[in-house]
Structure 1
Amino acid sequence: MLPQLELHRLEQNCQDWNVPTDAMLLISRLKARSLQSIAGSAAMTIGVHNQNWCRMNGNRKIRIVLADDHEVILNRVRGALDHDFEVVAAVSNGQDAVSEVQRLDPDVLVTDISMPILDGLQAVHQLRGINCRTRVVFLTVHADNYFVAAAFSAGASGYVTKSRVLTDLIPAIREAVQGRTYVSQSIKL
């Protein structure tokens, strides 16, 4: 039998993963009847107990291009994102970010501001100039309001400081995909 807490988590995961309503209703009914062992079996059957629900449902993971001129940062961010997202490219400058976004059409570009050849702000300006649909989340050391304002003026959906990468980046990406904005809590607007 699944404990009540597990059933609650299962319901929450259904909402987080956009599980079809009929599957959520099945789990809710089973929970209401306290048929926990059946609810657990149903959860395993419909596949909501693992992170692969999107692929099982014919959907795909959120596709991301990373841009940062520090390889250590790229590797750290890729490691943090690989479980929940599909990182389709990682580049070290803004010019390559523009090229890869145009070529791969990802859902989100996670980019630094300070990079060689073309900085992140310039790259995003170029992408917006060609009506690119890719959402942008800036991941940067710059916590100054000037940079935050410049990022959102360029067309950003999110702004995360590197000191908060592990706590803020995933929520920022999810908000961006939903058409909302996100700013790290460490930034005082």
Structure 2
Amino acid sequence: MPSTHFLKLAMTMDSLGSQPNKRPGARILLVDDSREILDHLSNMLQPEYEVIGKVADGDQVCSKVASLSPDIIILDISMGNHSGIEIAHRLREQGYAKEIIFLTVHEDPDFVTAAIGAGGRAYVTKPRMTEDLGLAVKSVLSHRVFISAPLKWE
């Protein structure tokens, strides 16, 4: 016959596992000027992470970050009239201290250096986003830098 302590523990674990609408993981804000990319990223990251917003206009990023307070921002580097690197610098100047993952088509080491210098913790190229984005999120949550292969950062 199981002990009372064991039964209480089992009941507690059952009730924790059955909480509706409870998502594990980080709260993520997606920023890209392509609605298709935003939707694809959202579908990739949910259900493991909570996508709390999608921003397609670089002018709205700072206000969305202030109102939503994400744990991670996934930020495109080239967004029409805006540079994700400039936006990252602005966010850091305004006190945003959480993680930034850059997502980009640029496979140039100079962009990697600029992105990391702007406070990015990860650099994922769009051709590798399906393979690399989940790894990048896990890396930054563990306070490690992630760079898509074959790029390097020195």
TM-score (norm 1): 0.67
CA contact (8 A) 1:66 1:109 kept: yes
2:66 alignment partner in structure 1: 102
CA contact (8 A) 2:100 2:120 kept: yes
1:168 alignment partner in structure 2: 132
Q: 1 or 2 for the larger relative contact order (CA 8 Å, sep ≥6)?
A: 2
Q: Indicate the structure with greater strand content.
A: 2
Q: Which moved more, 1:168-177 or 1:143-152?
A: 168-177
Q: Percent of counterpart pairs with the same letter?
A: 36
CA contact (8 A) 1:105 1:134 kept: no
1:89 alignment partner in structure 2: 53
Alpha-carbon distance, 1:174 to partner:
1.5
1:118 alignment partner in structure 2: 82
Amino acid at match of 1:116: G
Long gaps (5+) in structure 2: 1-9
Alignment of 1:33-112 (within 5 A): 46=13, 55=22, 60-112=24-76
Which of 113, 117, 122 aligns to 1:158? It is 122
Aligned residues: 140
1:33 alignment partner in structure 2: none
The whole-number CA distance in structure 1 between the counterparts of 2:141 and 2:62 is: 19
Which of 101, 126, 131 aligns to 1:137? It is 101
The whole-number CA distance in structure 1 between the counterparts of 2:58 and 2:24 is: 26
Moved over 3 A (4+): none
CA contact (8 A) 1:161 1:184 kept: yes
Long gaps (5+) in structure 1: 1-41
TM-score (norm 2): 0.81
Higher CA-based Rg:
1
1:147 alignment partner in structure 2: 111
Q: Which moved more, 1:144-153 or 1:94-103?
A: 94-103
Classify the secondary structure of the residue corresponding to 1:155. Answer: coil
Amino acid at match of 1:68: D
1:179 alignment partner in structure 2: 143
CA contact (8 A) 2:72 2:101 kept: yes
Alignment of 1:1-20 (within 5 A): none
Classify the secondary structure of the residue corresponding to 1:65. Answer: strand
Alpha-carbon distance, 1:187 to partner:
1.7
Alpha-carbon distance, 1:133 to partner:
2.1
After superposition, the Cα gap between the structure-2 partners of 1:179 and 1:90, relative to the gap in structure 1 and judged at 3 Å, is: same
Amino acid at match of 1:112: D
